[in-house]
Amino acid sequence: MIVPHQVFQQLHKVKYIQYGPNQSPVECLGHHKDTKTLFISSKLKSTINLATHKSLTIHIHDNTCRIPLTLGVFIAGFDSENELLGPRTSLYEKMSQAGNKMGFQTVFFGHQHIFSNSKEIYAYYYNKNKWQRKSLPIPTVIYNRIPNRKIEHHPNVIEAKKILNKQATLFNQNFFNKWEIYERLMKNPDCSYLLPKTILHPSYKKIATLVEQHGLYIKPIHGSRGEGIVKCSKLDTGELECHYYIKEKPQVNRYINIDAFFTQHFPNGLKGYVAQEEIPLLKKRNSAIDFRVHVNKNDRNNWEVTIICAKFAGKGSLTTHVQRGGSLHLVDELFSKEETKRITNKLSTTAVDLSYKLEQALEENVGEIGYDFGIDQEGKIWLFEANSKPGFSIYHHPGIEKLANHVLSYPFQYAFYLHNLRKNKLN
Q: What is the pLDDT of residues 243-287, one digit of tens each?
A: 888 877 788 999 999 999 999 999 999 999 999 999 988 888 778
**Residue 316 — pLDDT band, cuts 50, 70, 90?**
very low
On whether both 78 and 56 belong to a single domain, the answer is no
On whether both 21 and 45 belong to a single domain, the answer is yes
Let me know if residue 106 belongs to a domain: yes
On whether both 128 and 163 belong to a single domain, the answer is yes
On whether both 84 and 167 belong to a single domain, the answer is yes
On whether both 23 and 39 belong to a single domain, the answer is yes
For residue 235, CA distances in Å to 212, 214, 215 come to: 9, 10, 10
Q: How many domains does the chain have?
A: 3
Beta bridge partners of 136: 121
- CATH code, 260: 3.30.1490
Closest CA relative to residue 413, chosen from 320, 296, 279: 296
Instruction: Provide Rg for the chain, Cα atoms.
Output: 25
On whether both 100 and 11 belong to a single domain, the answer is no
On whether both 76 and 165 belong to a single domain, the answer is yes
> Mean of the pLDDT values across residues 308-326?
62
Q: What is the pLDDT of residues 43-75, one digit of tens each?
A: 999 999 998 877 888 998 889 999 999 999 999
On whether both 113 and 159 belong to a single domain, the answer is yes
On whether both 90 and 138 belong to a single domain, the answer is yes
On whether both 113 and 167 belong to a single domain, the answer is yes
Spatial distance between the Cα atoms of 94 and 404, rounded to a whole number of angstroms: 8
For the cut 80, the answer to whether the pLDDT of residue 194 exceeds it is yes
Q: Which domain holds residue 260?
A: 197-278
Which of these three, 67, 95, 120, is where a domain ends? 67
Let me know if residue 140 belongs to a domain: yes
On whether both 207 and 267 belong to a single domain, the answer is yes
Where is mean pLDDT largest: 149-153, 178-182, 396-400? 149-153
pTM across the whole model: 0.89
On whether both 108 and 63 belong to a single domain, the answer is no
